[in-house]
Chains A and B, each alone.
Chain A
Amino acid sequence: MLLIHCPYCEEDRPEVEFANGGQAHIARPADPSAYSDPQWEEFLYIRRNPRGRHHERWRHVHGCGRFFNAVRDTVSDRFETTYKAGEPAR
């Protein structure tokens, strides 16, 4: 089983306690009413699907309950690092 480091619990916890929350660092539109249709499409639906290093949101749902960000390699499934929500991308 994969162990994931929770930056809030500050320890490695088993994968089954976590839920994936999709791509990280997607900023909400500051002025939604000024957004055009293509911009909405971009914001809502267009996601990176990289081979390799990927920034993702994860939630320690059966633990502390917190969302945090992680850098995971999509080829090896190895977690490079995890850090608290709100911190800059690594």
Chain B
Amino acid sequence: MLEIAPMKLSAADLALPAEALVADGVQLALADDYARFSLRARDAAILEGLLGRKLPAKIGETLDGVACLGPDEWLALLPAGTALPLGEGLPVSVTDISSRALGFVVEGPRAVELITSGCPLDVAKFPIGRGTRTVFETVEIVVWRTAEARFHIEVWRSFAPWLWHALAAAA
């Protein structure tokens, strides 16, 4: 089998500032490293049995670092280095996508204002723990409310510099 070395990615590679951007009432920073997995299965029970953990049942809900993005699709954001069983032979797909995306953390009383500067959803009404895929202007993102005044944003690495500057401009 072909071994593919994981692409290690630093802020400098993407010409992103390593330090957080602090503005009036809001702070924008790169998130810690995560192990990201795309989980697909028509039958969630098979996936739950394989992973030994419960998955959120409804689109938009999150549970223990896993967000339900679609009727058969979940995104797992787990501590860096976490490995999951790949489920060979089972009708599921567990794919490591750790290097595909970057995380941003938007925090502070103006966090909602910053996100809604380009996101058409009513982010202010998100309950804590809601995570969903959407767009920021034309860039696809995953917005995840992790606390009352803190959001985690997942964005594909090639879009990350643009999104950073768009959010910085809004801040």
A interface residue numbers (CB < 8 A to B): 1, 8-11, 13-14, 16-17, 62-66
- Chain A hits for B73, CB < 8 A: 64-65
Task: Compute how far the CA of A11 lies from the CA of B134 in the bound complex, rounded to whole angstroms.
Answer: 13
Task: Compute how far the CA of A62 lies from the CA of B6 in the bound complex, rounded to whole angstroms.
Answer: 26
Q: B135 contacts A66, CB within 8 Å?
A: no
Interface size class of B (residues with CB under 8 A): 10 to 19
- Chain B hits for A10, CB < 8 A: 59
Q: A8 contacts B70, CB within 8 Å?
A: yes
- Chain B hits for A66, CB < 8 A: 70-71
- Chain B hits for A63, CB < 8 A: 70, 132-134
Number of A-B residue pairs, CB cutoff 8 Å, is 38
Q: B140 contacts A62, CB within 8 Å?
A: yes
CB of B11 within 8 Å of the partner chain: no
- Please, which residue of chain A has its CB at the minimum distance from the CB of B136? A62
Q: List which B120-171 residues lie within 8 A (CB) of chain A.
A: 120-121, 132-135, 140
Known A-B contacts A9-B60, A17-B135, A64-B59; the reply to A1 vs B120 at CB < 8 A is yes
Q: List which B62-108 residues lie within 8 A (CB) of chain A.
A: 69-71, 73
Distance from A11 Cβ to chain B, minimum over Cβ atoms (Å): 8
Task: Compute how far the CA of A11 lies from the CA of B120 in the bound complex, rounded to whole angstroms.
Answer: 14
A-B contact pairs, 15 of them (CB 8 A): A8-B59, A8-B70, A10-B59, A13-B121, A13-B134, A14-B120, A14-B121, A16-B135, A17-B120, A17-B134, A62-B133, A62-B135, A63-B133, A64-B69, A65-B69
Supplied contacts A1-B120, A66-B71, 13 more A-B pairs, CB within 8 Å = A8-B59, A8-B70, A9-B59, A13-B121, A14-B120, A17-B120, A17-B134, A62-B135, A63-B70, A63-B133, A64-B71, A65-B73, A66-B70
